[in-house]
Amino acid sequence: MRAPAAGDQAAREILLSMENVSLSFGGVNAISDVSFDIRKGEICAIIGPNGAGKTSMLNVINGFYTPRQGRITFKGVARAKMRPYEAAERGIARTFQNVALFRGMSALDNIMAGRTLKMKRGLLWQMLRYGPAMAEEVEHRRVAEEIIDFLHIKDIRKVQVGRLPYGLQKRVELGRALAMEPELLLLDEPMAGMNLEEKEDMSRFVLDVNQHFGTTIALIEHDMGVVMDLSDRVVVLDHGVKIADGTPDEVKSDRNVIDAYLGVAH
Amino acid sequence: MDLLYKIFLEPFVQMGTAPDLLVQTLWEGMVGGMLYALIALGFVLIFKASGVFNFAQGIMVVFAALTLIGLHAQGIPAFVALALTIAVMFALAWSVERIVLRPLVNQPDIILFMATFGITYFLIGFGELVFGGDPKTMITEELFLPKGSWDIKMLGGFVSLQKIDVAAAIIASIMVAVLSVFFSKTRIGRALRAVADSHKAALSVGISLEQIWVIVWFAAGLVALVTGIMWGARSNVSFALEIIALKALPVLILGGFTSIPGAIVGGLIIGVGEKLGEFYWGPLVGGGTDSWFAFVIALIFLMFRPQGLFGEKIIERV
């Protein structure tokens, strides 16, 4: 459990607000009437048993899925429908459960791809590598190198990511998301399939990102130890329904949560 | 013994005794190969960005050439017509994205492949409706493309270079250079490679698939236009040209489906191989080798390098 950050929970500004969101595929309800807020600067964990709708929830937030009903307000602007690249433009970055990297590209190029939206100079100037466009490229490269330093992946920056071990791929993917300088970072099982040491490294990075850059983080994670250590707040989903929402301590002792995880005696 | 002599020795003896003829054959092979390379380039651009084998590339060549000729026939000056044709190719790219690709996003590749058949037949029908089905002559003079040939004295004989072929080689090289710089140095290029690797990851970093698709289809359209002008200058422009798209297949197999240099080198190898095969070995089988020899070359390469000369080796971690 982290020491409470400066300012009371309730006093923090709401960054993202989900109100009565429902999502269904054909007749199957993936998410039913879920509401919760993510506040600026916090680390919010979304947990729940398999098939609870956690990944669907992230997909709704960054625009991969359009909810059947409900309202999503990000940075004070409500929207019915948002395309993924619009979400990216407005400051939402994410990683994926089964690492989605540009496998044919180097780690550095993957991270540079995260800067796509920040590049503004004309294509013609970029082709000519001329003046301002060149300066811009150099500046983006500098940011990318900073991220590489931050994640301690200097030695693999020129390696094609398809060749990297899984743990490092996850790190590169985090780097690519960070390169977008997001306000809200969505991490889908950042520690899945990692050993203890890798998990500790990744936890460290997540905390550092949160503290140094002030990035708000929403993460899905199965490792309860990690969740309880990292998060300020935990939202629990089960079968697409929200069953609890509170601090790690509150959630840990919640009857519904225990039932959902351990099963109820009928 | 006689047959073996004819296959393995006689052609080389011929090459040695008449080197000027060999040079001429090589040059013609290069020129033909360059056009194959241009068609293959159109395929590669679209395949790289969307993983779709665009069957319509051949008809796009015909359509672009016919649009140019058709507009000029309406009394529009050649270069204005050229600009308008470029605009038409952009409109085509935009429509394909909007009407065909966008509704089919996330469908299996085979569905998208079939959709390009649909585009092909639409363009054939629409083209015949607007421009008529008869063969037309490319407006080479109006576009200031040179005519005639240079006869160069060398190796105890003459080698004849068509000026239009030399011009085609120069224009094609410039276009390839511009395209490769565009796709390697600009943010669009990086985005293109990103889209090729993973759609959802590309979306998550803020790359718009729609924009990328319009850009690659437009680039493929421009390549088709240049191909159409060059090919049209050598023969007529007719719908029969559409089947040259099939000639791009061995080139792609050879060069790898995702490599721009591969398309160029593959095109040249196929072109030169085809001409050499036709000239020196063709008589052995009674000629007519040009319809199948390219595939034999591709097949031989395929046995040794299944991913093509420049194709990316697929690495799968287990």
- What pLDDT shows up at residue B110? 87
Residues 6+ apart with CB under 8 A from B59: B119, B120, B123, B124, B127, B239, B242, B245
Residue ranges with strand state E in A26-162: 28-39, 43-47, 69-74, 77-79, 92-94
ipTM for the complex shown: 0.82
List CB contacts (< 8 A) between B315 and chain A: 162-163
Q: How many CB atoms lie within 10 A of CB B299?
A: 12
pTM of the predicted structure, to 2 decimals: 0.80
A26: phi > 0 → left, psi -120 to 50 → alpha, else beta; which?
A: left
Residue ranges with strand state E in chain A: 14-25, 28-39, 43-47, 69-74, 77-79, 92-94, 184-188, 216-220, 233-238, 241-246
DSSP bridge partners of A73: A17, A78
Say whether A85 and B206 touch across the interface (CB within 8 A). Answer: yes
Angle at A94 between CA A91 and CA A97, to 5 degrees: 170
* Residue B175 contacts A where some CB pair is shorter than 8 Å: no
List CB contacts (< 8 A) between A100 and chain B: 198, 200-201, 204
Taking CB atoms within 8 Å and a gap of at least 24, the contacts of A242-249 are: A242/A34, A242/A35, A242/A36, A243/A48, A245/A36, A247/A9, A248/A1, A248/A45, A249/A1
Exposure class string for B140-151: b at 16+ Cβ within 10 A, else e = beebebeeeeee
Q: Measure CB to CB from residue B185 to each of A96, A129, A166 and give the nearest one.
A: A129
- What pLDDT shows up at residue A1? 47
Determine which of B47, B181, B205 to mutate to test the interface with A (most A C-beta atoms within 10 Å): B205
The nearest alpha carbon in chain A to B206 belongs to A85
- What pLDDT shows up at residue B312? 63
Locate the domains of chain B by residue range: 24-242
Q: Walk me through the domains of chain A, giving residue ranges and CATH numbers.
A: 1-91+183-266 (3.40.50.300), 97-181 (3.40.50.300)
* Residue A213 contacts B where some CB pair is shorter than 8 Å: no
List CB contacts (< 8 A) between B185 and chain A: 126-127, 129
Residues 6 through 65 of chain A touching chain B, CB cutoff 8 Å? 62, 64
Residues 6+ apart with CB under 8 A from B208: A83, A85
- What pLDDT shows up at residue B39? 87
Say whether A102 and B193 touch across the interface (CB within 8 A). Answer: yes
- Taking chain B (318 residues) in consecutive chunks of 10 residues, what is each chunk's mean pLDDT? 80 82 89 88 84 86 93 90 95 93 81 91 92 83 81 79 87 87 81 82 86 90 91 82 78 82 89 88 79 85 80 58
Q: How far apart are CA B247 and CA B40, in angstroms?
A: 9
Element (H, E) at B153: strand B149-154
Burial class (CB in 10 A: 0-12, 13-18, 19+), B38: buried
Q: How far apart are CA B123 and CA B54, in angstroms?
A: 13
- What pLDDT shows up at residue B179? 85
Is-contact A123 B219, C-beta < 8 A? Answer: no
3-state SS class at B89 = helix
From first to last of its 266 residues, chain A has per-residue pLDDT tens of 454 444 455 557 889 999 899 998 888 888 989 999 999 999 999 998 888 889 999 999 988 888 888 889 988 888 777 788 888 988 999 999 888 898 888 899 899 888 888 777 666 667 767 777 788 888 888 999 999 999 999 999 899 898 888 889 999 999 999 999 999 999 999 988 888 888 999 999 999 999 988 899 999 988 888 888 899 999 999 888 898 898 988 888 888 888 887 776 65
- What pLDDT shows up at residue A137? 83
Please report, in angstroms and rounded to a whole number, the separation of the first and last CA atoms in chain B. Answer: 52
* Residue B198 contacts A where some CB pair is shorter than 8 Å: yes
Supply A193's token pair.
Answer: 């399939």
* Residue A176 contacts B where some CB pair is shorter than 8 Å: yes
3-state SS class at A18 = strand
- What pLDDT shows up at residue B317? 52
